[in-house]
């Protein structure tokens, strides 16, 4: 089995597990986050109306083709969005490097699939439906290669053939839909 097939197999293993298992698998695969998502002092000043924008930490690994995912999205929406942070008064703890993991685009899609499944779409689903699912369709089904260098890195890291992309997209929809059916 080549590296591509191993990656596909790993994606399906993640899809067949729980969110907690997926988080642990990805933490093991990519290691600990390099930094907090935001700077704590800046974060607190933002919440206290002292500044208008939060300073980000040096957590990024897009040069490696990886996204950063907030583990706490199982219980919260848009942890990287300043409007949501301000409105919901999210505790800084959710932004610490211990609460972050790295993932490629498909793994990110799967994380949001599992969150959607486990929370009956209360959490995870907006990110899945609005950002991640359309991104996978655009890149791997419609074959629109992104222009920015960081996105090209992410595109290459999670590259899928069209047929494999469609199968994974279909499976994510099935996982979410089946969970919703069971709730009724």
- pLDDT attached to residue 50: 97
| CA–CA dist 55, 79 (Å, integer) | 14
Q: Domain ranges for the chain, please list them.
A: 3-183
- Within 13 A of 13's CA, how many CA atoms are on the CB side? 12
- In three-state secondary structure terms, 56 is strand
User: What pTM was computed for the model?
Assistant: 0.96
CA pseudo-torsion sign 104, 76, 117, 127: negative
- pLDDT attached to residue 25: 98
- pLDDT attached to residue 1: 81
Please list, residue by residue across 90-127, b when 16 or more beta carbons sit within 10 angstroms of its beta carbon and e when fewer do: bebebbbeebbbbbbbbbbbbbbbbbbbbbebebbbeb
pLDDT tens for the chain, 184 residues long, are: 899 999 999 999 999 999 999 999 999 999 999 999 999 999 999 999 999 999 999 999 999 999 999 999 999 999 999 999 999 999 999 999 999 999 999 999 999 999 999 999 999 999 999 999 999 999 999 999 999 999 999 999 999 999 999 999 999 999 998 866 665 5
- Among all chains, which residue has been given the structure tokens 């409007």? 83
């Amino acid at each position: 089995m080549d590296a591509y097939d191993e990656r596909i197999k790993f994606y399906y293993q993640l899809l067949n597990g729980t969110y907690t298992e997926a988080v642990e698998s990805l933490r093991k695969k990519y290691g600990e986050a390099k930094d907090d998502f935001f700077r704590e002092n800046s974060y607190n000043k933002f919440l206290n109306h002292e500044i208008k924008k939060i300073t980000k930490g040096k957590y990024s690994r897009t040069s490696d083709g990886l996204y950063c995912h907030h583990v706490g999205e199982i219980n919260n929406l848009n942890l990287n969005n300043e409007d949501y942070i301000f409105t919901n008064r999210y505790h800084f703890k959710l932004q610490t490097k211990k609460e972050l993991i790295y993932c490629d685009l498909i793994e990110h899609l799967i994380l949001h699939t599992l969150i959607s499944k486990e929370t009956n779409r209360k959490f995870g689903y907006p990110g899945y439906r609005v950002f991640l699912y359309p991104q996978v369709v655009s890149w791997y089904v419609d074959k629109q290669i992104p222009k920015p260098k960081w996105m090209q890195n992410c595109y290459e890291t999670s590259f899928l053939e069209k047929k494999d992309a469609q199968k994974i997209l279909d499976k994510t929809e099935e996982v979410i839909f089946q969970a919703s059916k069971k709730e009724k």
